[in-house]
Structure 1
Amino acid sequence: MARIILLWLLAAGQAAANLPPLPDMGAASDALISPIEERRLGQAFFRNLHQHLDISTDPEIQDYIASLGARLSRASDASGRPFYFFVVMQPEINAFAGPGGYIGVHSGLILATRNESELAAVMAHEIAHVTQNHLKRAIAAAKQLTLPMAAAMLAAILIGTQSPQAAQAALIALQASSLQHQINFTRSHEQEADRIGLQILAESGFDPRAMPSFFERLQQSTRFSGAHIPEFLRTHPVTSSRIADTRARAVEFPYRQYTDSFAYQLTKVKLQVLNGDDLKALRRAFANHARQGTVWQRAAARYGMALIDQRRHRLARSARIFAQLLARFPDQPRFIHGLAGVELAQGRTEAALARYRQALRRFPASSVLRLEYAKALLESGRFENARQLLEDHILERGARQPILFKYLAQAYSGLGQRAEARRYLAEYAYARGDLEEALRHMRAAVKLANGDRILSAITRQRLREFLAEKQAREH
């Protein structure tokens, strides 16, 4: 045991020598890292997650979860703290909060909810863990490590995996075994997150009663499941006393009717289609649902039918359903994109591009339409139009989704600008946590940019930053 501890200290000390350590935070109970350092740690943490998890790049799914998260965080005591919400495409019922306000929700959890308030309840609970600084003990435990190593450690602990880097694996394994308790929320943390989460739900217009009802349903569904317990219950133990406490607090809020948003219903349907194995059976189920329920529920079911027809290349039938939906709901961007996507698949490129242009004149703030239009421009060879649209989007929104770098790489490649294309491929790989691939592309970009003084300076600086991070990871 003494030898293991010594190896752990030597490894941690060597890692800390390569990059400036996180600032000294003092005792875990009375100090935190600065907002700037926490944001950097959160960004590095999110990059590490891409090595282990399938994080959704679907613009519609991302737009929905980000909008819901923004609505909830505005009702919290976040005091301007930034949040970033994302969906993990895995069937497990789970959600987690990381440093820097990064909150992940598994697609399995979304599909397990019966209404939008239940989904909001879990997200409000995770937001409360962030605003109440419940992660500070784990962050404080990593304060002597370099930022890349600390981010890798926190990612490994939070998602229960090890880093793929061989040089880090032993260190992270040792740290995870001894520091797992630092990130497991205590009973008081869970109760506080419940209490704050209920307040967030009420103030953001959702049903506080959804929290105890969802937790109770999870608990009951796993009563005889043995080891097959949802990960959310493992990391957020739900006891009968907690359920009773949240139920007692929830009934103190005034009761009223709560209606699910159309976006929630459409997102659940799309996730069902993306995760579905038997699409024929799923389409039959949607066809049955399309004949019952509210007008919104029937429309959501028909949306599912259209998506399945599109995936199965029943394009004429899919186009007909999307056109009917769009006639009934002309302001729904998902139906605009759905019909345009079918038109592209049918080879009706000009009609699809015209539909996107018209929609963007009506909804210029729609990130979903912008990204889907950019993708359509790339697929149709309009590389300069796509480049301009993407760069304007980044400039206006400060958007940094990995998919933007991939699209820009495609645009510059189509324009024959190889140095820029390799530069953005490097940024795409880096944003997804693949440092080796990022280094390979950035080295190529440096060589290709040799005749361009400004681009050469940019690529050389980024290469130095990537190499410094590689050194910190390997020692």
Structure 2
Amino acid sequence: MKFDKLLASLLILSLGSLALQPALAQNNIELPDIGDSTGTLMTPQQERELGEAFYRKLHSQLDISQDPEVNDYIQSIGQKLAASSDTPAQTFHFFVVGEPAINAFAGPGGYIGVNSGLILTSEAESELASVLAHEIAHVTQRHLLQTFQAAGRLSLPTAAAMLAAVLLGAKSGQLGQAALIAAQAASLQYQINFTRDNEAEADRVGMQILSKSDFDPRAMPTFFERMQQSTRFAGRQLPEFLLTHPVTVSRISDTRGRAEQFAYRQYPDSFAYQIVRAKLRVQTAANPRSALDYFKAVSGQGTKLQQDVSAYGLALALIANTRARDAKPILQKLMDAYPDQSHFVNALATAELETKSYPRAIQLYETALQRFPDNRALTLNYVRALLTTRKAQQARKLLQEYARRHPPTPEVYNLMAQAYSQLGNDAESHRYVAESYYASGQNRAAILQLRLAKKTAGDNFYLNSVIEERLKQLLAEEEERRKQ
């Protein structure tokens, strides 16, 4: 299975696709061999491998959030929805893209991304859930694979124009985008008809998922209406979500009619939803000062819970503005008021680290992990505190235990590399840096690090064997990429 070829097609044609990135054109991409007469495109194993390759590719082009608290939240809400789908055994992986644009998309293998801009635009947790449920429906109804097969029926000039858009993007992003627009315009009616059918089905199935997951089905048409209203002031700069998920009056009317079939009741937002939105507002602000100004402006407004969430956002903004000392009393008060909320103790320990109060930070992490065992954010920040205080052996052991329970991320690989570097094991350090690069879609950099690891491995037979085998795998992938 030539995954780079399929990936190129996916990024151009999938129903929930991202806007094309010029970096895609760095590879020599051929038109894919799509489907066969039986309608079979790929095996589940191939689809899973394609999904993993797709996710690695995204890391090299987008700001995929590495924040465990943000990731744990989006995973929790996503998995809750997926469990209520008509294929609960389907594997899903949800993640957040640190982009202000309003967008969400579904990729192969159940990889579903949502931009931080969309999370911040939502005004209720059920609105966010409605978007995720819609994307889950695209996966469970096999719309992505149907799109591959539909692409095989496009005319050769249209397919060639789309390919040109990708290739030209390497030299000129504007030229590549213009070529893509021309290609899309050439088959506009075909694309619209194809999209509308699948979007309607995703709306219907997504609403069923919402209802079964204890979220408000009315949130879907409400969010659509707000997106449509936003176009009145957007001019030609439509939100990406609307470019890939066209919202029409009839579509809003249809979803509104379906929603009214469900009994009305209140669906309160979770505390985690509000906290994560506050954190994302600080992380994605144009600059730290603007985040600070925002939370100062909303301080003291709303319910007691909303005021406390704003206080948390203010504390994070203070830390981002190198005023961690001012943030500590705010966070201490929140931690005392909400002893069952891990976000507050984690932020307080971070403030202690920023002010070089290392013993206090470590004490906070150790106490918190007794109360919140296996909390990913607390564990990884505890590791950072240990590395900061040169306790590399303890950090390495903690990371090894962590990796047995959680899929490693580029960030985890980097922490492991730091631990081995402090321990004086350069070969292992290079090896883990290589894995970080590979997980981030940077194969050539990974190969370079593996070669450095091999040079410094000495006569360690086992380590040499591991490095050599991994190097062979990556070189084989690189050779396949060159052939394409």
Interval of TM-score (by shorter of Structure 1 and Structure 2): 0.7 to 0.9
SS at match of 1:208: coil
Q: 1:133 aligns with which of 137, 142, 164?
A: 142
**Aligned residue in 2 for 1:259:** 268
Give the superposition deviation at 1:472: 1.2
**Aligned residue in 2 for 1:467:** 475
Give the superposition deviation at 1:285: 4.1
**Aligned residue in 2 for 1:87:** 96
Q: 1:51 aligns with which of 50, 53, 60?
A: 60
Alignment of 1:276-315 (within 5 A): 276-277=285-286, 279-280=288-289, 282-315=291-324
**Aligned residue in 2 for 1:149:** none
- Structure 2 portions without partners, runs of 5+: 1-7, 9-27, 153-158
Is the 2:434–2:447 Cα contact (8 Å) retained in structure 1? Answer: yes
SS at match of 2:232: coil
Percent identical pairs in the alignment equals 45
Query: How many Å separate the matches in 1 of 2:288 and 2:365?
Result: 28
Query: How many Å separate the matches in 2 of 1:278 and 1:372?
Result: 23
Query: How many Å separate the matches in 1 of 2:352 and 2:425?
Result: 30
Give the superposition deviation at 1:272: 1.2
Give the superposition deviation at 1:396: 2.3
Q: 1:391 aligns with which of 359, 379, 400?
A: 400
**Aligned residue in 1 for 2:408:** 400
SS at match of 1:186: helix
Q: For residue 55 of structure 1, what is the amino acid of its counterpart?
A: I
* 2:222 corresponds to 1:213: yes
Change (3 A) 1:221 1:54: same
Change (3 A) 1:171 1:259: closer
Q: For residue 471 of structure 1, what is the amino acid of its counterpart?
A: E
Query: How many Å separate the matches in 2 of 1:375 and 1:303?
Result: 22
* 2:259 corresponds to 1:250: yes
Query: How many Å separate the matches in 1 of 2:178 and 2:438?
Result: 24
Change (3 A) 1:379 1:220: same
Give the superposition deviation at 1:25: 5.3
**Aligned residue in 2 for 1:338:** 347
Give the superposition deviation at 1:224: 4.4
Q: 2:451 aligns with which of 436, 443, 447?
A: 443
Is the 2:289–2:321 Cα contact (8 Å) retained in structure 1? Answer: no
Query: How many Å separate the matches in 1 of 2:420 and 2:471?
Result: 20
SS at match of 1:451: coil
Deviations 1:61-81 (A, max 9, x none): 111111111111111122311
Alignment RMSD (CA, Å): 3.0
Q: For residue 330 of structure 1, what is the amino acid of its counterpart?
A: P
Is the 1:52–1:161 Cα contact (8 Å) retained in structure 2? Answer: no
**Aligned residue in 2 for 1:328:** 337
**Aligned residue in 2 for 1:115:** 124
**Aligned residue in 2 for 1:11:** none
Deviations 1:397-437 (A, max 9, x none): 3x122211111111111111111111110000010011110
Deviations 1:227-248 (A, max 9, x none): 1101111111111111100000
TM-score normalised by structure 1 residue count:
0.85
Query: How many Å separate the matches in 2 of 1:321 and 1:190?
Result: 45
**Aligned residue in 2 for 1:223:** 232
Give the superposition deviation at 1:91: 0.9
Q: For residue 428 of structure 1, what is the amino acid of its counterpart?
A: S
Query: How many Å separate the matches in 2 of 1:57 and 1:390?
Result: 16
Q: For residue 366 of structure 1, what is the amino acid of its counterpart?
A: N
Give the superposition deviation at 1:282: 4.2
- Structure 1 portions without partners, runs of 5+: 1-7, 9-13, 144-152
**Aligned residue in 1 for 2:78:** 69
**Aligned residue in 1 for 2:462:** 454
Is the 1:129–1:193 Cα contact (8 Å) retained in structure 2? Answer: yes
Change (3 A) 1:97 1:15: closer
Change (3 A) 1:135 1:403: same
